[in-house]
Each structure stands twice: as C-alpha cells, then as structure tokens.
Amino acid sequence: MHYMLLICGDESAAEHAQDGCGGWSEEMEARGVIRGGAGLRPPTDATTVRVREDQLVLSDGPFAETKEQIGGFCLIECADLDEAIEIASKHPAAGYGTIEIRPLIQFP
C-alpha cells in the first residue's frame, strides 16, 4: 500500500525542519519504503488557485488560516496501516508537530 505522510506543525516547526530528519530518511531508504518526498516552502510563498463560475481566482498564501501548516510530505510504500504508523512515529516531526497518514487511491 502507498501512503502519504503529511508533515505538519505550527510556525515554530520551521526551526526544527532546518535540522533535517535526524537519520530518519536514511533509515527508511535502507528499509526500502520511501518513494518520494520533499520539504515545502512556507505558506507565505503559496499561491491558491480556484475556479468559480468559470473565473480563475488566485490568492497569495494558503486558502485557510490555521495554526498548523504542512511543512513537507513523504510518499511511502509499506504492508499496511500498522507499518505506516510505525514509520510515521519514528519521524522527528512526530515529536514537535503532527504527521497525518493518508492512504493513496489506487487506480487500475
């Protein structure tokens, strides 16, 4: 199964992200579960796209104002949700933010 790990935290999480993943990435690459991932620039650099009544509507920044923001993501492939939870729990961001695990929709 493929899962997306959404790495989330408040604005102070950015200082933690500068430290990298503390060996997590290397461990998961050695296990063969990483399929992709990246850190994201801050929400202030975002552009939100919507189409309403056939009109393109652009806005700077995120669509919703929230205390938590998505700071990065990892795409993993593992046996099941239990393994995905184990992998996410080892990520350093789990100690200062949250990691949302979402299964990917598998198309034929």
pLDDT tens for each residue of 32-78: 999 999 989 888 898 989 999 999 999 887 666 667 788 999 999 99
Lowest mean pLDDT among 62-66, 88-92, 99-103: 62-66
- The percent of residues in the chain predicted with pLDDT above 90, rounded, is 60
Burial (0-12, 13-18, 19+ Cβ within 10 Å), 5:
buried
pLDDT at 92: 93
Q: What is the mean pLDDT of the chain?
A: 88
Q: Which residue has the higher pLDDT, 2 or 20?
A: 2
Distance, CA of 85 to CA of 30 (rounded, Å): 18
Question: What is the residue extent of each domain of the chain?
Answer: 2-103
Q: With 80 as the cut, is the pLDDT of residue 17 above it?
A: no
Which is the CATH superfamily of the domain at 2-103? Dimeric alpha+beta barrel (3.30.70.1060)
Q: Which residue has the higher pLDDT, 22 or 101?
A: 101
Instruction: Show the tokens assigned to 40.
Output: 């994201």
pLDDT at 13: 56
